[in-house]
Amino acid sequence: GIAQPPEDQVLEALLSGIRIEGLDCLPWTKSSRQLADRMRFLHHHLPEWPDLIEDHLTEELAEHLSPFLTGMRSAADLKRLSMQDVLLGGLSWEQRQQLDREAPTHIQVPSGSRIPVDYSRPEDPTLAVRLQEMFGQQETPRIGGGRVPLTIHLLSPAQRPVQVTRDLANFWRETYFEVKKDLKGRYPKHYWPDDPLEAIATNRAKPRV
């Protein structure tokens, strides 16, 4: 039989394949992409955060990938990788804690719903949430240790953005009444209180009384 090539040669061949093909050849899932975006967000706002995720294979990422490639022989084997494990493997316990604290996957809004944060543009994380679920929230939610306001896409009952803002206080003060006038006519069954800061947030058409 043909002698198997040594492990380190196989590893080098796999890594150079990834270098040529780019990181898209790795088996990303929705949750591992979100994790990568959250890490990019932290790196964007905190330069001391490791920048594992470029478009190409960095030395640092190659180092984290290597242990996961043991025993793999071909590009087809790469499909078995968990990119989530690879990325988390590159973080210390403290960094994992900081990631969960400062780049949360979800934000709890006044209605009680947990709404996913979209980090696909690391410099500008967004939260798309129905307007009624935000009643009573005076200030824009902030992440990144309080440094970064979320861009809020306030949605109509039909889940369409009616306003995009980073200044919720200003929206309630200046714009809400215009929006209310327009939407109340189109969605009369829904709740359009006169005082959005005193109103009860709800994820239904109207709050339970």
Strand partners of residue 154? 129, 163
**Which residue's entry shows tokens 């009444």?**
177
Q: Which of 35-49, 99-113, 141-155 has the lowest mean pLDDT?
A: 35-49
- Evaluate whether 173 touches 139 at the Cβ level (below 8 Å): no
Q: What mean pLDDT value characterizes the chain? A: 92
The token pair at 123 is 């410099």
**pLDDT for the residue numbered 2:** 65
Instruction: Work out the percent of the chain whose per-residue pLDDT is above 90.
Output: 76
pLDDT of 40 > 70? The answer is yes
Helix, strand, coil in percent for the chain, rounding step 5: 45, 15, 45
Reported pTM:
0.87
**pLDDT for the residue numbered 78:** 93
Closest CA to 37 of 98, 121, 109, 137: 121
